């Protein structure tokens, strides 16, 4: 939304469940550095708000986990916090809010798929948290984040989803006595937006194949499918 202004943000505020007293803070949270780089007098990008939002996110998440899991040791709490605050989880929250179409992106970043890029979405989500914190204080930011957490699987389930390759390796070693192997079958698309096809096999037998925008994500998707097949 290159021409997005504060007057256009009411729909997004409804999605966020928060009405800004200073909507220019939300506009800043939606402004990718590429947008500012291409325009004079475009104002600030969202990097400072992202920095602030990350700190608020860590505090709220830590407090929530501490209260919700009184029997968990520090190590497990740290793992849970990492799972809830990593790029993939934050991007998932941003997708649930349909944040991508609201981002102010430079032309090159928009053409390269910035509105769906996990890193850009995660940064914007953290920036929105920072904007809500500045506008409404910690209680407002906490209310927003806890609503987001409620829509996610529990941390233990997320941890399992986060590392399907590790779970597949354990299952393969136990069932077949060897680790699975991953093979790139095809790479298509332009350099800035490649599409990888990866298959995972055990002892030469293909278990599953998947496509994604990076080799890592394609391997992860293939591992998930292989786990479903082996557990069926």
74 and 98 co-located in one domain: yes
35 and 83 co-located in one domain: yes
Q: What local confidence, expressed as pLDDT, does residue 22 receive?
A: 95
107 and 177 co-located in one domain: no
Q: Which residue has the tokens 């040791």?
A: 73
Which of 162, 178, 213 marks a domain boundary?
162
Q: How far apart are CA 194 and CA 217, in angstroms?
A: 12
Q: How far apart are CA 75 and CA 82, in angstroms?
A: 11
Say if 149 falls within a structural domain: yes
The pLDDT confidence band at residue 1, using thresholds 50, 70 and 90, is: very low
206 and 216 co-located in one domain: yes
84 and 156 co-located in one domain: yes
**Catalytic amino acids?**
54, 126
Q: What local confidence, expressed as pLDDT, does residue 162 receive?
A: 64
The more confident residue out of 212 and 135 is 135
Whether the Cβ atoms of residue 196 and residue 211 lie closer than 8 Å to each other: yes
Tokens describing residue 210: 């998947």
Edge-to-edge strands, sheet with 195-202: 181-188, 195-202, 205-212
The more confident residue out of 194 and 64 is 64
User: Residue 222's domain is classified under what CATH number?
Assistant: 3.30.160.20
Q: How far apart are CA 139 and CA 130, in angstroms?
A: 12
Q: What local confidence, expressed as pLDDT, does residue 4 receive?
A: 63
The pLDDT confidence band at residue 134, using thresholds 50, 70 and 90, is: very high
Q: pLDDT averaged over the chain?
A: 89
The whole-number average pLDDT for the span 26-48 is: 92
Domain extent, residue 51, equals 6-162
The pLDDT confidence band at residue 42, using thresholds 50, 70 and 90, is: confident
Helix (H/G/I), strand (E/B), else coil: 195: strand
Report the share of the chain in percent with pLDDT over 70: 94
DSSP state of 198: E
Give tens-digit pLDDT for 2-33: 456 666 888 899 999 999 999 999 999 999 99
Whether the Cβ atoms of residue 184 and residue 194 lie closer than 8 Å to each other: no
172 and 184 co-located in one domain: yes
Say if 1 falls within a structural domain: no
* Pairing verdict, β 195-202 and 181-188: antiparallel
The candidate with the shortest Cα–Cα distance to 67, out of 142, 134, 126, 157, is 142
Which of 162, 177, 205 marks a domain boundary?
162
102: Cα separation from own chain's centroid = 16
User: Residue 64's domain is classified under what CATH number?
Assistant: 1.10.1520.10
Say if 154 falls within a structural domain: yes
The whole-number average pLDDT for the span 70-89 is: 88
**What is the number of structural domains in the chain?**
2
Give tens-digit pLDDT for 110-120: 988 889 888 99
107 and 173 co-located in one domain: no
Whether the Cβ atoms of residue 132 and residue 144 lie closer than 8 Å to each other: yes
56 and 96 co-located in one domain: yes
Name the pTM for this structure: 0.72
The H-or-E segment that residue 128 falls in is: helix 118-150
Q: How far apart are CA 83 and CA 152, in angstroms?
A: 11
């Amino acid at each position: 939304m290159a021409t997005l202004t504060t007057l256009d943000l009411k729909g997004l505020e409804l999605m966020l469940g928060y009405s800004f007293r200073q909507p220019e803070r939300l506009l800043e949270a939606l402004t990718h550095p590429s947008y500012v780089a291409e325009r004079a007098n475009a104002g600030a990008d969202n990097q400072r708000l992202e920095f602030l939002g990350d700190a608020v996110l860590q505090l709220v998440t830590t407090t929530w986990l501490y209260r919700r899991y009184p029997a968990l040791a520090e190590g497990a709490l740290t793992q849970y916090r990492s799972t809830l605050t990593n790029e993939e989880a934050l991007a998932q929250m941003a997708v649930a809010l349909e944040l991508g179409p609201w981002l102010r992106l430079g032309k090159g970043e928009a053409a390269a798929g910035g509105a769906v890029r996990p890193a850009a979405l995660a940064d914007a989500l953290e920036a929105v948290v920072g904007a809500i914190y500045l506008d409404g204080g910690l209680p407002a930011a906490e209310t927003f984040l806890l609503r987001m957490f409620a829509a996610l699987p529990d941390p233990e389930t997320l941890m399992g989803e986060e590392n399907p390759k590790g779970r597949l390796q354990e299952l393969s070693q136990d069932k077949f006595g060897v680790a699975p192997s991953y093979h790139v079958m095809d790479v298509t698309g332009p350099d800035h937006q490649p599409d990888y096809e990866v298959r995972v096999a055990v002892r030469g037998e293909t278990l599953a194949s998947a496509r994604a925008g990076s080799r890592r994500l394609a391997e992860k998707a293939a591992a998930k499918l292989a786990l479903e097949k082996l557990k069926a």
